[in-house]
Amino acid sequence: MSVLLDKKKSIIQSALDLIQEHGFHGCPVSMVAKNAGVAAGTIYTYFENKDDLIIGIYEHVVEEIKKYVSERDDLSLPFKERFYNYWKNLTNFYELNPSIHGFYDQFLNSPYNSDDLQSNPNVWHEFANAFFEDGIQQGDIKQLNPVVLSILVNTNVNSIVRIKQNFKKKLEKNNMELNEISHLIWDGIKAD
Amino acid sequence: MSVLLDKKKSIIQSALDLIQEHGFHGCPVSMVAKNAGVAAGTIYTYFENKDDLIIGIYEHVVEEIKKYVSERDDLSLPFKERFYNYWKNLTNFYELNPSIHGFYDQFLNSPYNSDDLQSNPNVWHEFANAFFEDGIQQGDIKQLNPVVLSILVNTNVNSIVRIKQNFKKKLEKNNMELNEISHLIWDGIKAD
Amino acid sequence: MSVLLDKKKSIIQSALDLIQEHGFHGCPVSMVAKNAGVAAGTIYTYFENKDDLIIGIYEHVVEEIKKYVSERDDLSLPFKERFYNYWKNLTNFYELNPSIHGFYDQFLNSPYNSDDLQSNPNVWHEFANAFFEDGIQQGDIKQLNPVVLSILVNTNVNSIVRIKQNFKKKLEKNNMELNEISHLIWDGIKAD
Amino acid sequence: MSVLLDKKKSIIQSALDLIQEHGFHGCPVSMVAKNAGVAAGTIYTYFENKDDLIIGIYEHVVEEIKKYVSERDDLSLPFKERFYNYWKNLTNFYELNPSIHGFYDQFLNSPYNSDDLQSNPNVWHEFANAFFEDGIQQGDIKQLNPVVLSILVNTNVNSIVRIKQNFKKKLEKNNMELNEISHLIWDGIKAD
DNA sequence: GATGAATGAGTGTTCATTCAT
DNA sequence: CATGAATGAACACTCATTCAT
């Protein structure tokens, strides 16, 4: 049982790495297999087809993000602090797992991210929605749609991580400015 | 000469439409050609190869965005008003040209968007950078890197247009909330 | 022992059903196994490989046909009547076992039906040859090669069953005409 | 134009030869291409997919048979003689074109020969139906459904050609007997 | 310049067969 | 004996690119 799961995990990890390095296109099933140390056919034991593999990666990714951020959410803190933690933890997670960030960024605007998939609930979106719902209930942030709020915040974190990576070797200074963005967003969404 | 340009334009337009409808994958050169009313081989008269075509589309797109937004920028207005116009015009442009928005969204996180390309200046980025530089100079917005500011704002506009399209038929109410996001961002970036 | 035979039978039956429904192509070993309620590997306990399975089905089928027709052959009747019974019983058998008819029809003209296999005697061909040999001996049918006669008659029964199935829902009237074919053939082969 | 048709013809001829030699299974598209002296991709210029190629072959084959037999049908002769010519010409055609006979024999009982295809009229079936309709009109053969009659006769010719090929090197004598089958069938269908 | 048939390397996928459990 | 995950050769098919017309 654990062997099976290990194999599925290693296929997903292999695909994640390849997608980050070569983009969605440069990721043939045969290469994923080779990288994962399995035969090409084996992938089809765990996934119906390549699309299903991509969706499988998405589901894995979404679960990992949720796990990391939710485990570090301390409900006893004031919401402002929880927000900054949310922001910091999500950023950290992406920086610790660049292949996940690379995949997620590409996935969101790809045709793989179908309407059907977006409509279905997923653990990460549910957590994020509930998180901002909480902030609204507690009167700490503006009464906006929590779905909109979570997309807004997550998109900004995504962008900033991307900018950081692009600027990595250029300007140390920018990193400080980028960290200011969280304040900027908080100022925007906090209740008046 | 103008015939040649017309043909190039129609190839680009055809590709834009197909990419929006079928994503980057579902856009073979032969289909672009058919859609544009030319032979497949003709595309190689105007573009070296498919990558060059995609880059060509990007350059076209970037020019169109810049033209639309810059033409509507009124330097005589106070910067706050210019910011809201910038936001509104960029949003309008994307909503008037969904295929451009669809392309741009996919392009930004794709492997086509190489480091080289990002390093090279382009008219739209230059305009946006100068725009926010202006706001800083005039003391109306915080002293942040204008490059960072423009990416931040543009990313948010992109996201919101995308959210609007996803929500189009669901919640009328959300559109109002989405329009509030511009205030939220302004509150974040305006000088204290 | 009987368990083993049961398992072999159920594998054969499963393959027969699948071949009738999906043709020779649409009949992977894994599907035969699933349909038979055994694991894919188990099939290789009973058959050396897929070709051997197909041959095994053929041998089973040929035995079943022979059993049905020979059991209903009454040697005490005049040969003309025996001929009509032969025709009727073979037709009935195919109509009761459409998957056998479907398999046999496909098998006969397939590359599985090798020269080697045709040269080897099989119970059904031997019975049929002997049957027509009998008719010749008794002076009731023309002095033709009994092998040729049996192929001729069997081919015609096969075709007629096939036509009946194609016409099943179209023309009731045709069925009567099709039943006349046996007279037509008898008129052809009976001794002058 | 004629070059294009030549290429299509050579693809069809190549596939016909391979199907006769290796059966339906042993006929990969790549081998058909190699045999025809074209690239694999070229086949898809002329046929949508492999199924379409098989159907294309069928249509070609059916046209060739019709052409050969109809060109040699002499309406001025008495129907009995026309029937014997029909039989002889069809037999000759198959013996001159063994790959067509091999293909047709396999095709008829294969899943490629769908209900849809059988329902659609084709030149050969139409000719054969009209031929036997003629015989009925002229009062020379029994009042049976001409569709049934033509299938019956064609099936018998097919079988006999097959038997001849199997027996080719064994018994010279049989050929004479096989030629008698036409009389046998004529005796069966002729008007009383 | 424009065409579109031809190319063939590359891709996703299937499936007969094996073998560790 | 039975299992079914794993294999990898083989397949159908796609598509960026070329080039003779």
The Cα-based distances of A106 to A31, A101, A109, B28, B187 in angstroms read 19, 9, 6, 20, 30
CB-defined contacts C:D, below 8 A: 92
| Nearest chain C Cα distance for residue D46, angstroms | 24
In this predicted structure, what is the pLDDT of residue A168? Answer: 67
- List the pLDDT tens digit at each of the 192 positions of chain A: 456 678 999 999 999 999 988 888 889 999 999 999 999 999 999 999 999 999 999 999 999 999 999 999 999 999 999 999 999 999 999 999 999 999 998 998 888 888 888 888 899 999 999 999 999 999 999 998 898 899 999 999 999 998 888 776 565 555 667 788 899 899 889 987
The phi-psi region of residue C37 (left if phi > 0; otherwise alpha if psi is between -120 and 50; otherwise beta) is left
- Is D154 a residue whose pLDDT tops 90? yes
Q: Please check whether strand F approaches the CB of C152 to within 7 Å.
A: no
Residue C47: nearest nucleotide (C-alpha to C1'): E17
CA D98/CA D94 separation, integer angstroms: 6
Name A residues 7-36 whose Cβ lies under 7 Å from strand E: 26-30
Comparing D18 with B170, the larger pLDDT belongs to D18
The predicted pLDDT at position A1 comes to: 46
Residues 101-140 of chain B with CB under 7 A from strand F are: none
Which residues of A sit within 8 Å Cβ distance of B? 22-26, 105-106, 108-111, 115, 118, 142, 144-145, 148, 151-152, 155-156, 159-160, 162-163, 166, 171, 173-174, 177-178, 180-181, 183-185, 187-189
Q: What integer pLDDT is reported at residue A179 of this predicted model?
A: 80
Task: Please state which of the ranges B18-27, B127-136, D89-98 shows the lowest mean pLDDT.
Answer: B18-27
Give the pLDDT score at A184.
87
- C56 CB-contact burial (10 Å; exposed 0-12 / middle 13-18 / buried 19+): middle
pLDDT, one tens digit per residue, over C3-20 is 667 899 999 999 999 998
Whether nucleic acid strand E comes within 7 Å of the CB of D144, the answer is no
Q: Using 50, 70 and 90 to split pLDDT, how confident is the model at D1?
A: very low
Residues of chain D contacting residue C159, judged by C-beta atoms under 8 Å apart: 151-152, 155
Interface contact flag, B174 A148, Cβ < 8 Å: yes
pLDDT of C173 reads 59
Closest nucleotide to the alpha carbon of A25, via C1': E11
The pLDDT of residue C139 is: 95
- Start-end of CATH 1.10.357.10 domains in chain B: 58-189
Mean pLDDT taken over chain B: 90
CA distances A104 to A112, A154, C59, Å, are 11, 11, 57
- At the topology level, CATH places domain B58-189 in Tetracycline Repressor; domain 2 (1.10.357)
Out of B163, B180, B188, the one facing A144 most closely (by C-beta) is B180
Q: How far is the CA of C110 from the C1' of F6 (A)?
A: 32
Local confidence band at B21 (pLDDT 50, 70, 90 cut-offs) = confident
| CA B23 to the chain's CA centroid | 17
Q: Which residues contact A129 (CB under 8 A, 6 or more apart)?
A: A146, A147, A150
Q: Mean pLDDT score of chain D, rounded to an integer?
A: 90
d(CA B94, CA B106): 14
Q: Which residues of C148-184 are buried (b: 16+ CB within 10 A; e: fewer)?
A: bbbbbbbbbbbbbbbbbeebeeeeeebeebbeebbeb
CATH topology of domain A51-189: Tetracycline Repressor; domain 2 (1.10.357)
- Whether nucleic acid strand F comes within 7 Å of the CB of D4, the answer is no
Which of the nucleotides in strand F have any atom less than 7 Å away from a protein CB atom? 1-20
Interval D44-52 mean pLDDT: 96
Nucleic strand E near CB of residue B5 (< 7 Å): no
How near does any CA of chain C get to the CA of D152, in Å? 7
Name the β-bridge partners of A190. A141
On the 0-12 / 13-18 / 19+ scale of CB atoms within 10 A, B94 is: buried
Angle, helix D98-108 to helix D50-71, in steps of 10 degrees: 120
Tokens 């006349």 locate to C180
> Which residue is closest, via its CA, to the C1' of F15?
B28
Question: Chain D: residue nearest C185 by CA?
Answer: D188
Quick one: pLDDT at residue D114?
A: 82
Asked whether the beta carbons of A182 and B144 are under 8 A apart, the reply is no
Q: Calculate what percentage of chain C has a pLDDT beyond 90.
A: 65
Nearest to B177 among A144, A156, A173 (CB): A144
The answer to whether strand F lies under 7 Å from the CB of residue B26 is: yes
Q: From the list C23, C151, C187, which residue is nearest D187 (CB)?
A: C187
Tokens for B84? 């809201």
What is A1-47's CATH topology?
Answer: Arc Repressor Mutant, subunit A (1.10.10)
Q: Do chains A and B touch (3 or more CB pairs under 8 A)?
A: yes
Q: How many A/B residue pairs have CB atoms within 8 Å? A: 91
Range(s) for CATH 1.10.10.60 in chain A? 1-47
The rounded distance, in Å, linking the Cα atoms of D110 and C112 is 14
Mean pLDDT (chain C, rounded): 90
- Find the closest chain B residue to A187 by CA distance: B188
Evaluate if residue B168 carries a pLDDT over 90.
no
The residue in chain A having the minimum alpha-carbon distance to the alpha carbon of residue B180 is A144
Cβ contacts of B90 within 8 Å, gap of 6 or more = B65, B68, B69, B154, B157
Cite the residue boundaries of each domain of chain D with CATH code 1.10.357.10: 59-189
Q: pLDDT-derived band of residue B174, with 50, 70 and 90 as boundaries?
A: low
Under a CB-based contact definition with an 8 Å cutoff, are residues A69 and A89 in contact? yes
Nearest alpha carbon to residue C103 among C18, C5, C191:
C18
Q: Convert the pLDDT of each residue in C143-166 to its tens digit.
A: 988 988 999 899 999 999 988 887
Instruction: Convert the pLDDT of each residue in D115-141 to its tens digit.
Output: 888 888 899 999 999 999 999 999 999
The distance of C46 to chain D (nearest Cα, Å) reads: 24
pLDDT of residue B170: 63
Q: Do D187 and C185 touch (CB under 8 A)?
A: no
pLDDT bracket for residue C69 (50, 70, 90): very high
Q: Say how far apart CA B50 and CA B43 lie, in whole Å.
A: 9
Buried b (16+ CB within 10 A) or exposed e, D80-114: eebbeebbebbbebbeebebbbbbbbbbbbbbbbe
Nearest CB to D23 within list C110, C155, C189: C110
* CB proximity D5–strand E (7 Å threshold): no
C35 Cβ within 7 A of any nucleic strand F atom: no
Q: Which residues of B touch A159 (CB under 8 A)?
A: 151-152, 155
CATH class of D59-189: mainly alpha
Contact C149, D178 (CB under 8 A): no
D abuts C (3+ Cβ pairs < 8 Å) = yes
pLDDT tens-digit series, residues B149-161? 999 999 999 999 9
